[in-house]
Copies of this chain bind each other. A is one copy, B any other.
């Protein structure tokens, strides 16, 4: 229940980035310290959520849970972990899109239902949650949190009189939207991915066990070997009899979130067949091919623009330089500059290197612009160092539509690319040039898999119907 101190704010990320909402991890591994491995797995997924963390462990008879607000190492002490004994576990890290951080929304959720106990960790966002919740409430269900995950649990509980997997199947028919789930019962680990495969989820093997995780980097971290991605529409049940797969729903058109490659995922993860770092570098290469800018140096906005900047430099032949240095000690909390110190805000995180920049024509590569609030400051800092020209290059197409599948991209009216034409944006951020990677160029990177992605935030083509109200995206119990 401890949370951010007043006056402090989270500046681990630059402010003008979309936000991933969650990371999930599950493990079934008799003979291993599953709580501790889940701790390390969540640690490797920390970039997917810094607001709360939780671990639920089962030992065949019961499920124990501990969760709290904060980063993984803030929530868990060695003592806490030692008390979580068992041979299977799930874990969750969460970033919440609601303004106030709410302990009640921390996951995993743990419930008792007619069939026993059930813990659940969810990454994604349902699109018909309001409707589903109303139906459930009409027949007496109550809700303690504002998470759509609680809706999933209630639906499963309604159907689970006989068989849990049957109930999950039925639930998958009812719910729409994005969900990668890891579920724990007293003795089973279940991994579920929605029929479109919006959010990532992969499987690994560990000596005598299995691991499921949002990203393969978490498998690496715990010493597991990558097995395969969970398929869209698949339920994977892991228990005493090993791994069992149920292809519940005929996979619909795949709609993997393309922003995982652009910004969210760790560069060392392989997601649905593609290494993130290589994709990012290729984005830079394609961007350079699309826009043959004349310039002296290419610099990234670290860290998210680094791989694309390198690709850009390689393809264009322009020298790569680190023109902006990042303070590696930026923490979760920080006293914000007062109004009259406002221009210090970005500088605390990124410091321009005059020796590198002065007198140069600069290509600055970033992954994306959401509201445009930071780019202007970056350009100003460069100019103050004597840069002659600034060409802002983005390794993604313009973000012009909100996401309803688990990413916080701000409301559509706040998206700068939805509000004004490109040239106006360029003027606003005071750049000499502004270049976005084309959607076509982006998709071509994936070759024959080019149709497997959700690109709704760029083109507004939502793979699963959405109700464009604020309530669809956010729902508050308070």
Q: Which A residues contact B (CB, under 8 angstroms)?
A: 1-2, 5-8, 12, 33, 36-37, 39-40, 43-44, 46-47, 50, 62-69, 71, 73-79, 81, 103-104, 109-114, 117, 133-134, 137-144, 153-154, 157-158, 161, 217, 220-223, 266-268, 270, 275, 277-278, 303, 306-307, 310, 320, 322, 325, 327-329, 331, 333-335, 337-338, 341, 343-344, 347-348, 351-353, 355-356, 477-478
Measured in the bound complex, the distance between the Cα atoms of B2 and A67 in whole Å is 10
Contact residue among B64, B109, B143, B351 (Cβ-Cβ distance under 8 Å from A268) = B351
Given A5-B77, A322-B307, A478-B64, A138:B109 Cβ within 8 A: no
Given A220-B347, A322-B307, A351-B268, A140:B142 Cβ within 8 A: no
Question: How far does the Cβ of A357 sit from chain B's closest Cβ, in whole Å?
Answer: 11
Set of chain B residues within 8 Å of A73, measured between Cβ atoms: 8, 331, 333-335
Whether B347 and A77, one on each chain, are in contact in the complex, defined by CB atoms closer than 8 angstroms, is: no
Majority DSSP secondary structure for residues of A touching B: mixed
Please name 12 further chain A to chain B contacts, defined as beta carbons within 8 Å, in addition to the given A104-B110, A110-B144, sorted by A numbering.
A6-B79, A36-B338, A71-B329, A73-B333, A73-B335, A76-B335, A77-B335, A111-B144, A112-B142, A142-B153, A220-B347, A267-B353
Set of chain B residues within 8 Å of A322, measured between Cβ atoms: 267, 277, 306-307
Whether B335 and A477, one on each chain, are in contact in the complex, defined by CB atoms closer than 8 angstroms, is: no
Given A153-B142, A267-B322, A137:B109 Cβ within 8 A: no
Question: How far does the Cβ of A302 sit from chain B's closest Cβ, in whole Å?
Answer: 10
Set of chain B residues within 8 Å of A12, measured between Cβ atoms: 329
Q: What are 23 A-B interface contacts by the 8 Å CB criterion? A: A1-B2, A12-B329, A33-B341, A36-B341, A43-B329, A46-B329, A47-B329, A73-B333, A76-B335, A111-B144, A113-B137, A113-B142, A114-B140, A117-B477, A140-B141, A140-B158, A141-B157, A142-B154, A268-B325, A268-B352, A277-B353, A307-B322, A310-B320
Whether A343 and B114, one on each chain, are in contact in the complex, defined by CB atoms closer than 8 angstroms, is: no
Measured in the bound complex, the distance between the Cα atoms of B81 and A142 in whole Å is 27
Measured in the bound complex, the distance between the Cα atoms of B40 and A469 in whole Å is 41
Measured in the bound complex, the distance between the Cα atoms of B220 and A348 in whole Å is 9
Of chain B, the residue at the smallest CB distance from A330 is B43
Given A64-B478, A142-B112, A158-B140, A335:B39 Cβ within 8 A: yes
Whether A348 and B33, one on each chain, are in contact in the complex, defined by CB atoms closer than 8 angstroms, is: no
Of chain B, the residue at the smallest CB distance from A324 is B268
Measured in the bound complex, the distance between the Cα atoms of B76 and A63 in whole Å is 30
Set of chain B residues within 8 Å of A356, measured between Cβ atoms: 275, 277-278
Contact residue among B44, B267, B477 (Cβ-Cβ distance under 8 Å from A112) = B477
